[in-house]
């Protein structure tokens, strides 16, 4: 494997010195880019993009070609690949997002779920990782990812996205043993899936806990964080002679930063509701922090974007341990030149914090 030409993203996650603050964007390969929309039209649909290694590689590299200052690439895939491999039948309804043909509603349903083999059942993801890693040729590190067990469980029980998680929370409180069995199977699946990605070439991994912040504090600790902790303890943490950093991201998880920092990961992702400087004070030197500009700032003019970048950099202050990102994914209506202004501003203004 080629040596990395730019490793500041990995260095920052491990709190090692860097020259400028590294930056990447959640959903950086996506619908805000005309070249992505062209590739998706060629592929036919979203899952055809994910399941074809050449297409997945093409769209992963598109933002790097457009914005050479990006410090990381992230695998183009979907968080719902694991439930699909468990036989739930993932499909996408226009205007409605992901749906499943089968839902999980009883203990018997959960007992019947298989734990997918990453090579056999999710081989298309491993092929995509190895293809992207080869084509990157050491330009920047490649991030692999998965949804968290709790987040995956919500889709499997609800049959798709939900506003109130009524069925999932009813299962949690009515039959906690069933929910624990589902989450345990998902934790085993995520662990082997992420380890498969690492062996295929991912140089850092992120766990997206999109819906953990919708739980009560006690339920979050028991039904979300406990299973992410279990995954972290089972991950490959060194490969190809380098550490493989792990990032945990719970959207709306600001109440539990100290607990998340104790879960064994190298970095915490923050949404935009957290003050970055305050988060740094709360977690101390335990972990690096990733985030956390409000994605909707990218609708503003470039000068306003630059002002917000400067504010966030000042909030974190001097020293390494910060990876600049949005507090959630970039949205489809953002103008690409606004994303470019954001990325450039991070490098332009962050050098003074690393002297």
Which tokens belong to 37?
């929309």
Consult the annotation and say whether 155 binds a ligand: yes
Distance CA 119, CA 125 (A): 9
Residues in a beta bridge with 274 = none
Distance CA 320, CA 309 (A): 16
Which tokens belong to 29?
């390969």
For the CA atoms of 72, 75, 76, 78, the dihedral, rounded to the nearest 10 degrees, stands at -130
Distance CA 72, CA 141 (A): 5
Distance CA 250, CA 268 (A): 8
Consult the annotation and say whether 29 binds a ligand: yes
Consult the annotation and say whether 30 binds a ligand: yes
Question: If DSSP states are collapsed to H, E and C, what string results for 282-339?
Answer: HHCCCCEEEEEECHHHHHCCHHHHHHHHHHHHHHHCCCCCEEEEECCCCCCCCCHHHH
State whether residue 14 is helix, strand or coil: coil
Of 71, 62, 56, 241, which Cα lies nearest the Cα of 139? 71
Which tokens belong to 183?
């989450």
Show the low-confidence residues of the chain (pLDDT under 50).
1
Consult the annotation and say whether 204 binds a ligand: no
Give the architecture-level CATH label for domain 45-287: Alpha-Beta Barrel (3.20)
CA distances from 147 to 10, 79, 189, 227 (A): 21, 5, 11, 12
Consult the annotation and say whether 28 binds a ligand: yes
DSSP per-residue codes, 166-203? HHHHHHHHH-HHHHHHHHHHHHHHHHHHHHHHHHHT-S
Consult the annotation and say whether 322 binds a ligand: no
| Residue carrying the six token digits 């450039």 | 344
Residue-level pLDDT at 2: 52
Distance CA 79, CA 119 (A): 17
Distance CA 142, CA 130 (A): 10
At a CB cut-off of 8 Å and minimum separation 6, what does 245 contact?
10, 13, 14, 204, 205, 266, 267, 288
Of 35, 32, 172, 31, which Cα lies nearest the Cα of 92? 31
Residue-level pLDDT at 1: 43
Distance CA 269, CA 262 (A): 14
Give the count of alpha carbons within 13 A of 58, CB side only: 17
Which tokens belong to 198?
């690492």
| Residue numbers annotated as active site | 27, 31, 40, 78, 155
């Amino acid at each position: 494997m080629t040596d990395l030409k730019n490793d500041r993203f990995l260095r920052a996650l491990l709190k090692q010195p860097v020259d400028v603050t590294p930056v990447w964007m959640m959903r950086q390969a996506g619908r805000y880019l005309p070249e992505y929309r062209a590739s998706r039209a060629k592929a036919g649909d979203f899952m055809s993009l994910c399941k074809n290694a050449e297409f997945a590689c093409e769209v992963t590299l598109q933002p790097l070609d457009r914005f050479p200052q990006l410090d990381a690439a992230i695998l183009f895939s979907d968080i719902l690949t694991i439930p699909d491999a468990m036989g739930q039948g993932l499909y996408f309804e226009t205007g409605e997002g992901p749906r499943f043909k089968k839902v999980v509603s009883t203990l018997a349903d959960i007992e019947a779920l298989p734990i997918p083999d990453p090579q056999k059942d999710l081989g298309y993801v491993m092929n995509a990782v190895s293809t992207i890693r080869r084509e990157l040729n050491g330009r920047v590190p490649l991030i692999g990812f998965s949804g968290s067990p709790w987040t995956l469980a919500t889709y499997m029980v609800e049959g798709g996205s939900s506003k109130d998680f009524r069925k999932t929370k009813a299962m949690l409180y009515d039959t906690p043993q069933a929910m624990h069995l589902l989450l345990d199977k998902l934790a085993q699946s995520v662990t082997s899936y992420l380890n498969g990605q690492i062996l295929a070439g991912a140089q850092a991994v992120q766990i997206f806990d999109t819906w953990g912040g919708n739980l009560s504090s006690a339920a979050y600790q028991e039904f979300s964080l406990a299973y992410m902790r279990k995954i972290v303890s089972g991950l490959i943490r060194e490969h190809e002679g380098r550490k493989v950093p792990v990032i945990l991201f719970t959207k709306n998880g600001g109440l539990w930063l100290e607990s998340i920092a104790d879960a064994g990961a190298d970095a915490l992702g923050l949404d935009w509701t957290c003050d970055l400087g305050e988060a740094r004070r709360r977690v101390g030197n335990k972990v690096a922090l990733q985030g956390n500009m409000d994605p909707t700032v990218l609708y503003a003019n470039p000068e306003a974007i630059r002002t917000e970048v400067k504010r966030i950099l000042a909030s974190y202050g001097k020293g390494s341990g910060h990876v600049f990102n949005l507090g959630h994914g970039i949205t489809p209506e953002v103008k690409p030149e606004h994303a470019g202004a954001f990325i450039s501003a991070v490098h332009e203004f962050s050098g003074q914090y690393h002297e």
